[in-house]
Amino acid sequence: MTRLRLVGRFALWFTLALTVLAAAWELAAPRYSAAVSAVAQPVFRSVEREDVTVLSMQEDELWIFRRVGEGRVAPFMFFDRYAFFALVPLIALFAATPGLRLGRRALRAVCGSAVLFLVHVAYVVASVELSYVAAGLTAGGPHEAAQWAVRLLWEAAPIVIWLALTAGAWIRALGAGPQAETGRIIAWTPREGRIE
């Protein structure tokens, strides 16, 4: 298979997988957001001096509330159903990656999704805490550079995860292209000075 056909096939499978998974995201988004909320809440308790952050699922949105007094909370920010949508293209990338057997493909997709889930939890916590600093609700140093870094890592995480877990498969698949076409390997033998 030529490299062009390999890349074309990858693009086709990625598009098909992305279409199916994007349609399924409407059902999966509330459950995924609820899981992020369940893991993030204890993280907030461990990083905050005073327990001021309350997370609540409202339909398919993850809402962040801040305690403002005895028994009172005020809405602070929310993450809609598309905040964690990067999971969809990540799984589609694993589904389309050439050169992986089904078991390895599934294992890498599960591992990659788990890492991205942890990135999502960290992003929620970091975003809220940095927003508190920006709003003057919490003391802190320069927050703009930190917000930029958090946003950059958030955006790049799915691609970095996918590349880290599939680079070997891509190297094998792309490296085998010309050899697979000709059916033989051309080798240079320096001692004899000729091509065999």
Q: Which amino acid is at 166?
A: T
Percent of the chain residues topping a pLDDT of 70: 87
Confirm if 89 and 112 have CB atoms less than 8 A apart: no
CA distance 164 to 167: 6
CA angle 138, 53, 71 (to 5 degrees): 110
pTM: 0.83
| Per-residue pLDDT at 185 exceeds 70 | no
Greatest alpha-carbon pair distance for the chain in Å reads 87
Q: Give the torsion through C-alpha atoms of 70, 134, 127, 85, to 10 deg.
A: 110
pLDDT by residue (tens digit) across 80-130?
999 999 999 999 999 999 988 999 999 999 999 999 999 999 999 999 999
Per residue in 138-181, pLDDT (tens digit) is: 776 666 778 888 888 889 999 999 999 999 898 888 886 544 44
**Residue 67 and residue 56: Cα distance in Å, rounded?**
13
Q: How far apart are CA 181 and CA 184, in angstroms?
A: 8
pLDDT at residue number 23: 96
Beta-strand relationship, 72-79 and 188-189: unpaired
Closest Cα to residue 100, out of 18, 2, 173?
Answer: 173
User: Burial letters for 74-103: b for 16+ Cβ neighbours within 10 Å, e otherwise?
Assistant: eebeebebebbbbbbbbbbbbbbbbbbeee
Percent of the chain with pLDDT over 90: 62
